[in-house]
Amino acid sequence: MSDDLLLSAQNLTRYYHGRKVLHGVDLELKRGEVLGFLGPNGAGKSTTMKLLSGNLGAHDGVVRICGHDMADAPLLAKRHIGYLPEVPPLYLEATVDEYLKFCARLRKLNARDCVCAIAKAKRECDLEDVGSRLIGNLSKGFKQRVGIAQALLHEPAVVILDEPTNGLDPNQIRAVREMIRGLSKQHAIILSSHILSEVQTLCSRVAILHHGRIVFNADLGAPSSAISLHLGVVVDPAVLEKIAGVESAVALEDGRYLLHVDNYDRAVEAVCRSAIEHNWALQEIRRDASILENVFVELTCNDAILES
């Protein structure tokens, strides 16, 4: 495994009560990446993150963290993972310092390392002024920070955050976003969120899950360098990528494509020329100013099914 490949999931499959809810999910995460993990409610996001973090077992497939197989060497694999579930696992009757010390000892840190790890996590999550306060008396924003801090104590290579800004007010959301930006410089991060603008701002790559299947997994690029294309015929994206100025092409559905280009004006001219030459029945071509929203709607417009 490459030193830069920190997480690899292949063919992840999971059943609930005899119903298949994950259908061969494949994911990879490299050092320095922030992966936005999206999908409608019931798509299987939380189930997938539980499998990746080792909190749930797959019925088929393999998860490797920093080269360690989650099934064969779970303790080694989990040493490299920090996980914040959608509902943070907090003890409300404990102080912040007491809770973080408890979590650090669960991670097998010795007394000296505990002190250093707690101080660093509090500094990264801006908790230095609330160490002696009861967690139950903190605002929801600070509770989320405590939840993130416990995921960072052992300096994991991979951090998995499930809806870290869920239920926060705008100021709290901004603070947590800034914290995640800082963390992304040192960790590879998987971020699940329903706030598309948040994902597009924070994430370098996006994977979309729908009905238990990965239907999109790519770098979205910048809005100014993206083209939304609608053709009257189906064209292999590899053919579109051969057009001058087109860096990558992703097929959506019904003849729609998302193109990443190096220069918008030059690429539009080349695409139009190719469409005429090959009789692709060009229906629409335009600058895509809201890439993520358009891709998400195109790929998940069918009714979502609920997880059991």
The predicted-structure confidence for 255-279, as pLDDT tens digits, reads as follows 889 888 888 888 999 999 999 999 9
Tokens of 196: 């598309």
> What pLDDT was estimated at residue 135?
97
> What pLDDT was estimated at residue 222?
55
> What pLDDT was estimated at residue 118?
96
Dump pLDDT digits (tens) for 50-78. Answer: 999 999 999 999 999 999 999 999 999 99
Q: By the 8 A CB rule, do 212 and 20 touch?
A: yes
Give CA–CA dist 7/247, Å, rounded: 26
Q: What percent of the chain lies above the pLDDT cut of 70? A: 94
Tokens of 103: 């979590």
Strand residue runs (E) in 175-242: 188-192, 205-210, 213-218, 226-231
Q: Look at the block and give the residue holding tokens 């409300």.
A: 92
The answer on pLDDT for 293 being more than 80 is no
Dump pLDDT digits (tens) for 174-216. Answer: 888 888 888 888 889 999 988 887 887 788 889 999 999 998 8
The answer on pLDDT for 305 being more than 70 is no
> What pLDDT was estimated at residue 254?
82
Q: What is the mean pLDDT of residues 271-297?
A: 85
Q: Under 8 Å CB-to-CB from 304, ≥6 apart: which residues?
A: 39, 40, 41, 42, 43, 210, 211
- pTM of the entire structure? 0.76
Phi/psi at 231 (nearest 5 deg)? -110, 155
**Domains of the chain by start residue, with CATH:** 5-215 (3.40.50.300), 221-299 (3.30.70)
Q: What is the mean pLDDT of residues 275-302?
A: 81
